[in-house]
Amino acid sequence: MEFFNEDENDMTKPLNNIDKMKAIESWQESEMHPLTCGNGKCRNSLQDDFVEGEVVLSCVCGYIQKKIPEIVYTRYKRLLVDGPISE
């Protein structure tokens, strides 16, 4: 499987696990609304984690979210290709 390469600008290729984790960290550190716990008991920000060979989102309360919104990865690819948005 070929992974995303910023020099190719092919937004259809998937990110590798390291880049997926970087994408989540970038999202959580940005001005975007953070990804938060969905267990209904807390609203802590989720962190990137690696469980059973997959990148997931996890919370300190033990909640694990396997589905990561695609916009997190798309935004990261766009930042790699276009660079940060200057204000």
Question: HEC states along 48-87?
Answer: EEEECCEEEEECCCCCEECCCCHHHHHHHHHHHHHCCCCC
Report the run of H or E that residue 20 belongs to, with start and end.
Answer: helix 17-29
User: Is the pLDDT at 69 greater than 80, yes or no?
Assistant: yes
User: Is the pLDDT at 1 greater than 70, yes or no?
Assistant: no
Residues 41, 44, 47: CA angle, nearest 5 degrees: 125
What mean pLDDT comes out for the span 5-31? 88
User: Is the pLDDT at 9 greater than 70, yes or no?
Assistant: yes
Residue where the block lists tokens 């766009």:
78
What is the pLDDT at residue 82? 84
Model pTM score? 0.86
User: In whole numbers, what is the pLDDT of the chain averaged over residues?
Assistant: 89
User: Is the pLDDT at 87 greater than 50, yes or no?
Assistant: no
